Amino acid sequence: MKDKQIKNNLVIIVDKRIPKPALEALRKYGDALPLETFGITYPAISGHPDIFFCKTESKLVIAPNTSNEIKEQLTNSTISFTEGKQIVGARYPHSAIYNALITDRFLVHNLNYTDQVILNLCDQLEKIDLKQAYTRCSVLALKNDRFITSDKGIEKALLKRGLEVLFVNPKGILLPGFDHGFFGGACGIYEDKIFFTGSLDHFPEGEKVRQFLSGYEIIELYNGPLFDGGSLIILA
């Protein structure tokens, strides 16, 4: 009965190219909306949800050039969203406009590039300005101002605020076309559940991550290396 309740309540936006066993496993927990785009941004990130979507506390913000198919699927799933002002571009930093990290306390991003709609919705939050605009895909934000990141610059900025941060080396995270991916891009969070597109048993620092995630339910979607699919955007 518990699984049925989850499936009725969750919509999960996911890169269509994540490993097939992971995608099939994900469908046990919610309605998976596979994302695929062509000719908008470079191929490695063209299906990454965190490139086209930003989940704020009050509203889902989506890029205007997100596919009409996904917009229709969100509408049919009764997911409320608003469009940002800027389109996703072919190259960085125009490909990182929506890759901001939002918590109940902070907006973390390179604020030179954050879409204005996100800034407006988060005007009451504390701002942490970074050089790295690929923020969401580099960080997993947990409750009580705790974070896991695979980016040294982000780690430094968060530690400077007195926040608790675990740094992990991203080597071993798959991102086709690159030497490795980013930690935040290989997972998604919903309440006390953390979903990984892969198994921490295949990640060199997996045991360290498990210990840091004490108290969370870890759901590993397939028995293979972590795969950076641009995060799992999980909506209720």
Confidence label for 8 from pLDDT (cuts 50, 70 and 90): low
Determine the Cα–Cα distance for residues 163 and 148; give it in Å rounded to an integer.
11
Q: Any idea how long the chain is? A: 236
Tracing tokens 């063209």 back to the chain, one arrives at 46
- pLDDT, mean of residues 13-19: 98
Question: Could you tell me which residues come within 8 angstroms of residue 36 by beta carbon, excluding any fewer than 6 positions away?
Answer: 15, 16, 17, 46, 47, 67
Domain count, the chain: 1
pLDDT at 24 over 50: yes
The boundaries of the domain holding residue 70 are: 2-235
pLDDT of res. 235: 95
> Which of 143, 152, 147 lies closest to 163, judged by CA?
147
Q: What is the pLDDT of residues 145-196, one digit of tens each?
A: 999 999 999 999 999 999 999 999 999 999 999 999 999 999 999 999 999 9
Determine the Cα–Cα distance for residues 2 and 62; give it in Å rounded to an integer.
30
pLDDT of res. 7: 47
Q: What is the pLDDT of residues 69-121, one digit of tens each?
A: 999 999 999 899 999 999 999 999 999 999 999 999 999 999 999 999 999 99
CATH number at residue 66: 3.75.10
CB atoms within 10 A of CB 4: 8
